[in-house]
Each structure stands twice: as structure tokens, then as C-alpha cells.
Amino acid sequence: MNRSMTIKSLLIGASLTAAIVASSAQAQDRKFNVPAGNINMTLPMFARQSGIQIIAPADQLAGVRSPAIMGVFDTRAALRRLIADANLEIVADNGAAITLKPRARAGTTPVALRSLQSARAASSWTAPRAFQAADASTAQAEPGTGSEIIVTATKTATTLNRVPISMQAMPQEQLDRRSIRSVSDIIRTVPALSMQTSTTADRVPSISIRGVASSTGAQTTGVYLDDAPLQKRNAIGISGSGTPVPALFDLERVEVLRGPQGTLYGGSSLGGTIRFITPEPSLEKMSAYARAEVGFVQDGGVNHDLGIALGGPLVEDRLGIRVSMWQRRTAGYIDHVDRFTGDTLAKDTNSSDDWALRGALLFKPTENFSLTPSVYYALSEQHDADTAWKTVPETTLNGYTYPAAVYGDYQTGANCNVGDNYAASTPRCVARQPRTSRIFLPSLKAELDIGSTTLTSVSSYISDRTHGRSDYSYIEPGNFQCGFPFVADIESYRSTPIYENKRTGFTQEVRFANDGNSRFNWVVGAFFATYKNNSNYHIVANLDDLTQAVFGAPAQAIFGVPVEPGNITYHRDQDLKEKSLAVFGEANFAITDKLKLIGGARVSREKFSYHQVTAGTFAGFLTPTTANGGLTDGKVKETPVTPKFGLQYQLDSANMLYATAAKGFRVGGVNQPPPASRCGADLAALGITSTPGTYKADSLWSYEVGAKLRSSDRKLSLNSSAFYIDWSNIQASYGLPTCGFGYVVNGGKAVSKGFDLEASVEPINGFTLSGLVAYTDAQYTQAVVGPAPSSTLYIRDGDRLPVSKWAFNVAGEYRFDIGSYGAYLRADWQHASRYQNSFGPGTGSFTPDTYMSEASDYMTARIGLRRDGWELSIFADNLLNSKDVLGNEGGRTGCATGEGAACTTYENYTLPYQYVTFRPRTIGATLTLRK
């Protein structure tokens, strides 16, 4: 270095030294507020905020812009991010001073390749928005590569290896590479997550974590779009219930938080929380993300996917924008087949179309204050159910022999139920089960820096609507014929439940958090939410034709009341209103430089009210009254408290141990009284005159220990946790033995215990091998028995909760260069062991043929090329064309022996068996742009 350069370096070093406000020889987290800009300006600012002297060569700084560094981070890691584009590296670090010098350049490296390598280095920390968020933590984007993700799990910004929570974070690039396009793909790739898949088409499947699952009442898993809660209470019966899930396009990342999150996220985070984080508008630079994809489904149609997102400053450093548009056609593969001829009546009917639009503005009138209004809209149209049928064997009933109805893979017989005696003359029709869902969610986020404290306000409004049709054309004949679905002496039977579910709501959260630079760090806040939910459905069926063919009499002679005009056999209108008010806080105190004490609590006031009107032929009355159970009202008020305690020991900046104990809760609800005209005998047998009007919240305590470890060269990482969950007062469903209605009570206990282990290693440069294993032993530890004299066993001590005991996820990726292109090969394999999806032997609801779901395996592969922000890849989803069954119904039902005695006979043999499996093998290509 010549004398001029030496003098310049010394001058810069001196100016940075003069700006130092503190000095520390220990690696530590600090809060940074360094905007993007010329590194000549941002490096001194970084030095002042870090309290460390930084000496750098001036000739390397001219004309170089650095990214924003905002949030709480490890000082050295933040510095490496700041200097990524300046071609500098740390060569000396004594704790109080850091010396930078130019990286060595390989003389044979092509210019284009050096640019590509520089781009990779610059992208090693993703999500500039997360630096500005009020709540974050970090995980590895691609295990073993040393890249990092900013996440917002604890409502204070930090890196994942410093967050005392078992969690997984996946940025958009990882979602793309792993072919994750839907919530079912997330469930498949994240062990300890499970989804209760139903063969009916009206409900979105329920998501559970670590076996904390229930289909009754409020959800057990919280779902958030940024800071806006999306989870929705399950309504009773055919309803269109289910939590809406955002489109997996233009996301910063997806975070999965395992274990109860009641302190910061409240009710319905009983088992954990899933968060979908969107990119924030940039005030410094333009950015673009686009994706186009086409996929050919074996035995099905063609998928196509197209989306684009653009963002950047409208007024530099003051006003930024981010907009995105996305559309996807998911091809169908289910064929409707005529049971008499085997002819295909309709092909690939279960296709779906999805659209999503999002827009956000970031307005920063001063350095200390920002406003971020945003709006999200999504539309999803599912054109038919994903359900297939198994062959119905030859059966003799009432002196008539029905021939076998044969169905192959991905085939269904869900058509109009034509009788055998009319098969030659009656036209066929297809009974599709479509479902359409819409969600509209505007929100406003405001942040104000008040010295060492940040005030954050998040307001959101939600309006969502689901409507569609289901099909009972074979269920109702089965109810009259011990489960057999066909009727020879009827021209055609069609039963169609038509449903609609509407919700509107408003949420407001206000929280304060300190800057994270003191021994005592904290976040406190208040939350308010109010929701109105209306769910209604009615069944349209030619019931008189069915009862005449089966019983030789009209419906009025069987049920006591006639079918209403328009062939309406049952209708229900249900109004639910919820209000929640809570205060919460969480803090940590540094007992020593390495050991932190964690504590927090949330106190909520929950109110829930319910009004329902039911009537119809199946109800046994046409005029609803309180006495006959047609008019129902109820209210629930509760004040749950959910504390959290923990210890965190930071071995060094990259390695941490923790232990936590946390409580979760789920608010109670109101029962629908069963109609006395139909259920009086069942109630009398149980020794009661009516069902309980309400049921209370259930709760759990979770105890967890964990470790997050990483080698100094970032080529080896290990995240692990072990947990024990004690769940009590579980909201359990009781089914009345003969009348077909039921109710919910609080009863029973369960324990879920296990561990999860995530590891990644880069044994050679460019090759990463990663894996995640989850072991979950979740079962009831207390039987639930109905009242005497029947003493029906509803839940058996030892019955397992619906989660696989073992789940594995193994991935390998090899990254290499071909000339000036970056290339990669990747393969992922997931395995989940068999699990129990309903109550076991001896219980009143035991279904011996379908109560166990089988094990499943799934594999994907992708090969791609990248250059200058473009990426072209070829992929195969379900590479081995797995047809493992994910959910099924049918077979023997109706065991109500009482006292847990073994079943010897069953009231019904329900046919056909209906099941859901993976989508068939899909091969396609994806083109993405990231600029």
C-alpha cells in the first residue's frame, strides 16, 4: 500500500475511533439502525452503534452501497453482511478493534463468475424487511451453506440460533426449490406437523403440531399472515369451516413454531403457530420476483403457475411500494366412473384455480416513524373433491344381488345414485363437490422509535367466505341399509348439502419493545379481536323417492314430518360471535454474559356467544322451538392465564442451550341440543334429559429442552429439542348411540412426548446433506366413559392422537458451476409412520377397518441452472408415484358395547371405502427471476 493509501486508511480509522461510544471484547447482540446507503457513510454509523473500532482501506469503499442493517444481531455477523458488496473480509479482531482488507482474488476466475460469486455472498442474508421488523429470529436458509434467514417469532429481532423455540423457517427460494406450493406440502416437509384429511369436501383440513389435534371447536394451531391472525373456529356439521391459508407466492419466509405460543399469540396456538411473512417495501432499491411453471400430471391434466412481484422506492428513503399478482391452475386427476359400465363420465374433475393479489406501501416521513398499509386478496376455486373410491364387492341385500362396482386408481363413483332396475334407461349425472373460498385482509402497521424503545401498532380487518356443495347421495341410503349405498328400485337419488360460511373480524395489537441492548430486555402489549361468523346449510334431496324405495312409505311416515317445498330435508343457520381482550408480556434478564432468565404471561378475557336455528325432515320438526332443540342460544366467558418460564445459555455467538415451560389454552364453546323427538331415548339411556349447554377451555403445559449448535465454519449445524406435553380437560366429542347427534364435553387427559432433531453437514464444498427426524408419542392417559346405565366408552386410556410416531425428512443438494452458470441438483424424501386417526377397540366410535392410517413416503427431485438472477429448473414431484392413503372412511361402524368390551358385531358396514392419496407423479419446469 502506498503512503497516500496508508494515510487515508489511518484517517478513516481515526474518525471511526472518535465515534466509538463503548468497547467490548465479547461477541454480543446489539440493536442496529443503519439504513442502506454509501458505505463511506454507513460504516462509521455501524462503528458508533457497535462500539467497536473499524479500520478499513478507503480505496475499497468508494461507490459501494451497503444494505440496511436494522434489528438486533450479532455484531460480527451484521458487519459481514454490511461489507458483502465491498469485497472486504475481516483479517484481525481483538474484540475492541476490527481490521478489514480486500479479499484475495483468483487470477483465473472469469469476471462473470466473480460477479455470480459476489451475488451469492450478497444474498447470504435474506429478507431486508426482517432487519426492520419488530419481531425476528434467524435460521439457516440452505443448511450447511452458512446463509441466514431473519424470522419474527418472538416479537423481537434476533437470529434463529438465539431463539429458545423449536422452530423451522423456510424462505421463498427454499419453498420453490422444494416444490412447496400448498399447505399440504408444508405439512409433508415439516415433521411433527400433521393434517386431519377428510374425505368430505366442505372443510379445509385442520393442522396440528406434536399431536395436539382436535376437530371440535376452536383450532389448536395458530395461523398468521404477518401479524394478522387467520385461524377460524370450526362450526357444527356441514359448514365450510377451516382456516384460510395464504398463497405460497412472494413470501419472505414461512415460520413453523412448535409448542404452545400462548404468551405472545394467545388462544388457538395450543400446539404451535404457523406464520406466513411477506416482504416489506424497500426504500432503497428496486426488486423483482417472478415465477412461471408448468407441470404434467401422470393420469391427469396440466398444472400451470404464473406470478410476478415488484417493489422499490417511489420517493427514496421516504416512500416504497411492493405489489404482487399470482395465478395457479392445479390439474385434476380424479375420474368419475359409471358403476354399471365402467365408462368414464367426467375426467380430471378435481382441478383447482387460485388467484392472489397483494399490495403494500411503506411511508417513512421521519427516521423514527413509519406506516405500512397493505391489502391482501385471494380466491380459491376447488372444482371437486380429491376423494377416490375402492371397489364395492358383490352384495346380496333383501333378496337382490348387486354386482361388484369396480374402481381403479384415482376413480370415484360419486354420481347420481341410479337404481339397478333403471340403469338401462336413466341418464347419468356427475355429483361434483365444488368449494370456493375468498379472503380479503387489509392491515395497517405503524412503528415509532422512542429512544431505546419501539412502539408497534398492527390493525387488521378480515372478511372471508366459503361456499360450496357436498354429496350425500350414497350416505343417506347407507343410513337406511346398514351402510350399503345402492338401492335397486329407485330411478335416481340425489342428496346435495349446500353450505356457506362467512366471517368478518377486526384485530388490534399494540406493543412496546426495548432495543435489546440491556441486561433486561422486554416486550409488552395488548390485543383486541372481535369476530362475527355465520354458517348456514341446507340439504336438497328427493327423500320421498328414497324412503318409498327402501321402506315402501313416504318420508312423513318415517320421520313424522314431510319434506319441505323445494325438496329441502334439513336446514341450519348458525351465528357465532367472539371477542378477545388480552394483555401480554415477555422478558429476559441476563444473569451473566451467557445465561438469561426468561419469563412471560398473557391474561385474556374471552367471550363467545352462539345462536342457531335448525329444522327439517331429518330434525323431526319443521317449526323450531327451544323445547324441541330447534332454537339454541348460549354464552361462554373465560379468563385464561398462560405463563411462560425459561432459561437460555449462550455458549458463544453461534451455539445455544435452552429450557422452557409454557402453558397453552383453547377457549370453550356452546353445544347444540339434540332434537328431543329423535334423541329422547338416547338421552334417557344416558340418565340425562338434555346435553350440557356449554363446554370450557382446555389447556396444556409444555416442557422443552433444546440446543442450537453450529460449527465455526458453518459447515455443520445441529438443532434439537425434547418435549413433554400434559394436556388436560380436552374438548371431547360424545356421539349419541342411535339418533346420529352428539355433543362436546370437557373430559380426558393426554400426554405427548418426544423429540425433534435437525442436522445439516457440508462434507465437501458445494454438497449439503440435511435431515430432520421427529419422534412424537401422543396418547390419551385417561378414559372418557359416558354416564350409567350404558357407560359407553368414548375414549380409551391409551388411544393415540392423530400424529405419526416417526417422521423423517432427508435432503441432499449439490451446487456447482458450469462455466458462468451456477447449477444444482436436489432431492428430498419424506417418510411418516402409520398413525391412529380415530378411537380404538372397545370405544363406541371404533371403526376397525379404517381407524389406522398407513405409513407414507414421498420424494421430489429438481435440477437447475442460475445466472444473473434467473433460474431454470426441471422437477419431479412424487417421483416414485406414491399412492399411500392419507385419509379414509368406510367399513364396519356402530360398536356401542359399553364398559370397553370387545366388539363382536357391528350395526353397519359402510360402503364404499373412500380415500385420499398423494397427487400422482408430476414432471415439469420452473423459470424464476430474483432481482
119, pLDDT greater than 70: no
Q: Is the peptide bond before 110 cis (omega within 30 degrees of 0)?
A: no
Condensed to tens digits (0 to 9), the pLDDT of residues 576-604 reads: 999 999 999 999 999 999 999 999 999 99
Condensed to tens digits (0 to 9), the pLDDT of residues 597-624 reads: 999 999 999 998 889 899 999 888 999 9
- For residue 666, name the pLDDT band (cuts at 50, 70, 90): confident
Strand ordering across the sheet containing 88-93: 53-55, 97-102, 88-93
Helical axes 3-18 vs 39-50, angle rounded to 10°: 40
Cα 738 to Cα 413: distance, rounded to the nearest angstrom? 28
Condensed to tens digits (0 to 9), the pLDDT of residues 368-398 reads: 999 999 999 999 999 999 999 999 999 999 9
- The single residue listed with the C-alpha cell 457513510 is 41
State residue 413's pLDDT score: 96
Instruction: Give the lowest-confidence range in 609-618, 624-633, 780-789.
Output: 780-789
Q: What percent of the chain has pLDDT over 90?
A: 53
State residue 289's pLDDT score: 96
Radius of gyration of the chain from its Cα atoms, rounded to whole angstroms:
30
Residues forming a β-bridge with 598: 588, 646
User: Which residues contact residue 211 at a Cβ distance below 8 angstroms, ignoring those fewer than 6 apart?
Assistant: 194, 271, 725, 750, 752, 776, 778, 801, 802, 803
- The single residue listed with the C-alpha cell 373480524 is 505
Q: Residue 161 carries which DSSP code?
A: G
Helical axes 39-50 vs 75-82, angle rounded to 10°: 180
- Mean residue pLDDT across the chain: 84
Listed residue (679, 799, 765, 773) closest to 718, CA to CA: 773
Q: Is the peptide bond before 191 cis (omega within 30 degrees of 0)?
A: no
665, pLDDT greater than 50: yes
Q: Who wins on pLDDT, 451 or 547?
A: 547
State residue 146's pLDDT score: 44
Cα 527 to Cα 583: distance, rounded to the nearest angstrom? 6
State residue 194's pLDDT score: 80
User: Which residues contact residue 664 at a Cβ distance below 8 angstroms, ignoring those fewer than 6 apart?
Assistant: 212, 260, 261, 262, 269, 270, 271, 642, 699, 700, 702
State residue 686's pLDDT score: 65
Q: What percent of the chain has pLDDT over 70?
A: 85
Element (H, E) at 44: helix 39-50
- For residue 678, name the pLDDT band (cuts at 50, 70, 90): low
Top-ranked range on mean pLDDT: pick from 195-209, 538-552, 665-679, 794-808: 538-552
785, pLDDT greater than 90: no
356, pLDDT greater than 70: yes
Residue 672: C-alpha distances to residues 215, 534, 695 (Å) = 16, 15, 11
User: Which residues contact residue 173 at a Cβ distance below 8 angstroms, ignoring those fewer than 6 apart?
Assistant: 126, 141, 930
Residues forming a β-bridge with 177: none
Element (H, E) at 118: helix 111-122
Instruction: Give the lowest-confidence range in 262-276, 300-314, 748-762.
Output: 262-276
Q: Residue 420 carries which DSSP code?
A: G
What distance lies between CA 226 and its chain's CA centroid? Answer: 13
State residue 218's pLDDT score: 79
- For residue 310, name the pLDDT band (cuts at 50, 70, 90): very high
- For residue 7, name the pLDDT band (cuts at 50, 70, 90): very low
- For residue 441, name the pLDDT band (cuts at 50, 70, 90): very high
* 101-121 mean pLDDT: 41
Cα 633 to Cα 172: distance, rounded to the nearest angstrom? 46
State residue 237's pLDDT score: 61
816, pLDDT greater than 70: yes
Q: Quick one: CA torsion of 914, 915, 916, 921, rounded to 10 degrees?
A: -110
Instruction: Give the lowest-confidence range in 152-156, 212-216, 413-417.
Output: 152-156
57, pLDDT greater than 60: yes
**For residue 191, which phi and psi values (nearest 5 degrees)?**
-55, 150
475, pLDDT greater than 60: yes
Instruction: Give the lowest-confidence range in 244-248, 297-301, 383-387.
Output: 244-248
Top-ranked range on mean pLDDT: pick from 30-39, 47-56, 139-148, 326-335: 326-335
- For residue 151, name the pLDDT band (cuts at 50, 70, 90): low
Condensed to tens digits (0 to 9), the pLDDT of residues 181-196 reads: 888 888 888 877 887 6
State residue 140's pLDDT score: 35
State residue 204's pLDDT score: 62
**For residue 401, which phi and psi values (nearest 5 degrees)?**
-100, 115
Residue 733: C-alpha distances to residues 100, 214, 267, 736, 748 (Å) = 65, 10, 20, 10, 11
Instruction: Judge whether 690 and 729 are in contact, CB under 8 Å.
Output: no
CB under 8 A, 24+ apart: contacts of 174-178:
174/141, 174/142, 175/248, 175/251, 175/254, 176/291, 176/926, 176/928, 177/813, 177/824, 177/826, 177/862, 177/864, 177/873, 178/811, 178/826, 178/828, 178/860, 178/862
State residue 145's pLDDT score: 41
Look at strands 221-225 and 272-277 and give their pairing.
parallel
Cα 639 to Cα 594: distance, rounded to the nearest angstrom? 36
Instruction: Judge whether 326 and 359 are in contact, CB under 8 Å.
Output: no
Element (H, E) at 189: helix 183-189
Q: Who wins on pLDDT, 667 or 814?
A: 814
Give all strands (DSSP E) within 819-884, no chain letters.
821-832, 835-836, 852-853, 856-867, 870-877
Strand ordering across the sheet containing 335-337: 344-346, 335-337, 411-412
Instruction: Give the lowest-confidence range in 407-411, 490-494, 516-520, 591-595.
Output: 516-520
State residue 294's pLDDT score: 98
User: Which residues contact residue 626 at a Cβ distance below 8 angstroms, ignoring those fewer than 6 apart?
Assistant: 632
Q: Who wins on pLDDT, 505 or 689?
A: 505
553, pLDDT greater than 80: yes
- Supply angle C-alpha 175, 181, 184, rounded to 5: 105
Condensed to tens digits (0 to 9), the pLDDT of residues 423-438 reads: 999 999 999 999 999 9
Cα 367 to Cα 36: distance, rounded to the nearest angstrom? 13
Residue 791: C-alpha distances to residues 674, 685, 894 (Å) = 19, 10, 15
Condensed to tens digits (0 to 9), the pLDDT of residues 188-234 reads: 888 778 876 655 555 566 788 988 887 677 788 899 999 999 988 87
Cα 139 to Cα 147: distance, rounded to the nearest angstrom? 8
User: Which residues contact residue 4 at a Cβ distance below 8 angstroms, ignoring those fewer than 6 apart?
Assistant: none
pTM of this structure? 0.83
Listed residue (491, 301, 484, 339) closest to 415, CA to CA: 339
Listed residue (816, 713, 761, 760) closest to 117, CA to CA: 816
240, pLDDT greater than 80: no
Q: What sections of 482-631 are H helices per DSSP?
A: 543-551, 555-559
Q: What does 460-473 look like in DSSP terms, one character per residue?
A: EEEEEEEEEE---T
- The single residue listed with the C-alpha cell 359402510 is 910
Q: Who wins on pLDDT, 707 or 57?
A: 707
